[in-house]
Amino acid sequence: MSETNERPAGAPAPPPAPDRVVVGVDGSPHSLRALDRAADEAALRGTTLEVLCGGVPPRRSVVPETDSDRERAREASREVAEAGAKRARERKPELDVVASGVAEAAPDALVRASRTAALTVIGTRGRGGFRGLLVGSVSLRLAAHAAGPLLVVRGEEAEPPDRRRETVVGLKWAGATEPVRFAFEEAARDGSPLRVVHAWTYPTLPSISLKLPPKEPTEESVRAEAFLRETVAPFHRQYPDVPLTTEQHRGSTSEHLIELSGNARVIVLGVRREHRRLGLQVGPVVNTVLQHARCSVALVPVPASTS
């Protein structure tokens, strides 16, 4: 039997449920693809799936919003969440599914839910998305604010994803092991091979734009190899059965990851939120990969103190 969760404003947050998968739905085709992928992810983890539908942010109007307006929005969210939960149960009958319809705006509800979820899943674009953007405003806001791992499911990718395709993780910051751990866990769960990519460029002299890598190993390349090897080694010992490839790429990080996405199940990236004029935002590599990758993209928060 389905259940609808609704937490009154000001009520304490529920206790952490780190094994819960949360998916945002709004009835659009993109969100239904995300729902199917979230059901698969929850089944792989053997955990509960929460199907969450948030309300629409109130429009500016001279007429104040009434209690009946809020109740209609809440009821509409319940119906969409229940329909999504029914679809998930039909896809994975063994799955424990909870439907959550709330009047709270969808981005706010998903950010709050991400604080107690092992994984939050959303589609690339839902209703009301701007034309020309492959990733909509809700996806970008979640990318900048989700408290835990976020999986953005591409609208055009095949379902279910081919398990022979790679899990790819981009390695950037020293000490940022969270994305690597997430990628190893994903590959171990779904049986996909794992590729760990460290992309970097040789330093160039001012006013010289041409970057020609030297023929002999340099101090930078030796350091890069050691960084990649030392970061991956403890996880490879923990997950020895995961087929592993490590790769140094000298050049554009985003371009290389987009190229690899054509044969990947998921691209995993660490995300360190940056305070800019418009508030918290993701960096240029994350934004570019989100817009152009040909597979799903998983964003794993990295502490701001990471160098």
Separation of alpha carbons 8 and 60, rounded Å: 23
Q: Clarify whether residues 124 and 214 are in a common domain.
A: no
* Total domain count, the chain: 2
Tell whether the model's pLDDT for residue 161 goes beyond 60.
Answer: no
CATH code at 136?
A: 3.40.50.620
Q: Are residues 33 and 136 in the same domain?
A: yes
pLDDT band at 193 (very low <50, low <70, confident <90, very high): very high
pLDDT at 72: 79
Q: In this structure, is residue 252 part of a structural domain?
A: yes
**Does residue 13 sit within a domain?**
no
Looking at the structure, tell me whether residues 44 and 114 fall in a common domain. Answer: yes
Structural domain that includes position 269: 166-295
- Check whether residue 25 and residue 149 sit in a common domain: yes
- Would you say residue 304 lies in a domain? no
| Final residue belonging to a domain, choices 103, 125, 153 | 153
**87-140: pLDDT as tens digits:** 999 999 999 999 999 888 888 899 999 999 999 999 886 444 433 334 456 777
Same domain? For 143 and 171 the reply is no
Q: How confident is the model at residue 269 (pLDDT cuts 50, 70, 90)?
A: very high
**Domain boundary pick from 153, 175, 200:** 153
- Per-residue confidence (pLDDT) for residue 233, from 0 to 100: 94
Give yes or no: residues 289 and 174 share one domain.
yes
CATH (domain of 211): 3.40.50.12370
Assigned domain for 189 exists: yes
Judged against a pLDDT cut of 50, whether residue 306 lies above it is answered with: yes
Please indicate, yes or no, whether residues 248 and 289 belong to a single structural domain of this protein. Answer: yes
Q: Are residues 119 and 198 in the same domain?
A: no
